Amino acid sequence: MDVLVTGGAGFIGSHVVDRLLADGVGRVTVLDEFNDYYDPAIKRGNVAQFRGPVTVVEGDLRDRGLVDQVFDEGRFDVVIHLAGRAGVRPSILEPELYLDVNIKGTFHILEAARRAGVSKVVFASSSSVYGVNPKVPFAEDDALLATISPYAATKLAGEQLCSNYSHLHGVQTVCLRFFTVYGPRQRPDLAISKFCRAILEGRPIDKYGDGTTCRDYTYIDDIVEGVMGAVRYDGKPFDIFNLGGSQTVSLNDLIAACEEACGRPALIHQMPMQPGDVPRTSADVSKARQLLGFAPRTPVREGVRKFVEWWRQSGAGAAAS
């Protein structure tokens, strides 16, 4: 099986590539822009750790000619489309960039997959599509009536494009709604990474709101299992699955878990709630359990401890410990 992983140099993508290589797939191609959303050297470090038959292509999803060339040369069986601009708050500052990369880029991937006869596309969506959803936990068939950020809108649009290509062109598409993924190699802008690094380095952390907002945190190893389940899935031509940790944790409790793992108290810099932040995310993963064999196993305190252990073993972490 030959697989294309877009965004394969990033946090989730590099773990997915590692798993594909460990499982002995035929060939893996990574398409990544290595943009400056965060330090590109981090992604290059992720790529340097790959062990196995990997081809890395540096390029932009918006470059349709390049995307078509990658598909012409790759002859892929499966595409795992993880690439795109991430983050709710940055999308509010640069909405046009997010619309361009996440929607047009996804269109380019789907159109190239259609033209090349790819049998399956797995698309990375987000829990942010649920927006301000009064129903808890969130289920895949909930009405999505209140997305509150450009990022969420682009992910919902991506799901709709996947549905289009499945219905019109027979490309099987599986959309995975990720719920707050964390763990080793986590992007430095995400909460657990920011909090633990700041605590270990003796810097204050920004705490937005009163600490009662809640998130369903999902450890990276559990997410990778869900992605592999989607690759194996042989069900409907178009489907959507929640991938969450089935454990909704308040911001206050998350900070406490970070303090425990770091062995130090946090210095708090109190901030107001930010536009685009939702009060709660909570995943109903019963559908993924049944059809993908998804079974999240990592409690937040254990996952945060594993992240801190990894951080301390890395060069920067060792200096801060």
CA distance 10 to 21: 16
Instruction: Report the C-alpha dihedral over residues 300, 306, 308, 312, rounded to 10 degrees.
Output: 180
- Residue 319 banded pLDDT, cuts 50, 70, 90: very low
Quick one: fold of 183-215+246-282+297-314?
UDP-galactose 4-epimerase; domain 1 (3.90.25)
Cβ atoms of residues 86 and 37 within 8 Å: yes
- In the chain, what are the domain boundaries? 2-181+217-243, 183-215+246-282+297-314
Q: Strand, helix or coil at 31?
A: strand
In the chain, the amino acid numbered 303 is G
Q: What is the pLDDT of residues 200-254, one digit of tens each?
A: 999 999 999 999 999 999 999 999 999 999 999 999 999 999 999 978 999 999 9
pTM to 2 decimal places: 0.94
CA distance 304 to 109: 34
CA distance 310 to 304: 10
H-type helices in 170-299, by residue range? 191-201, 220-232, 251-262, 286-292
Burial of 259 (0-12, 13-18, 19+ CB in 10 A): middle
CA distance 147 to 131: 4
| b/e burial code for range 166-198 (CB count within 10 A of at least 16 → b) | beeeebbbbbbbbbbbbbbbbbeebbbbbbbbb
Output the pLDDT for position 76: 97
| DSSP, res 169 | H
- Residue 320 banded pLDDT, cuts 50, 70, 90: very low
CA distance 136 to 205: 29
- Residue 318 banded pLDDT, cuts 50, 70, 90: very low
Q: What is the pLDDT of residues 166-194, one digit of tens each?
A: 999 999 999 999 999 999 999 998 999 99
Number of H helices, E strands in the chain: 13, 13
Active site residues: 151
Q: Are strands 218-219 and 120-126 parallel, antiparallel or unpaired?
A: unpaired
Superfamily of domain 2-181+217-243: NAD(P)-binding Rossmann-like Domain (3.40.50.720)
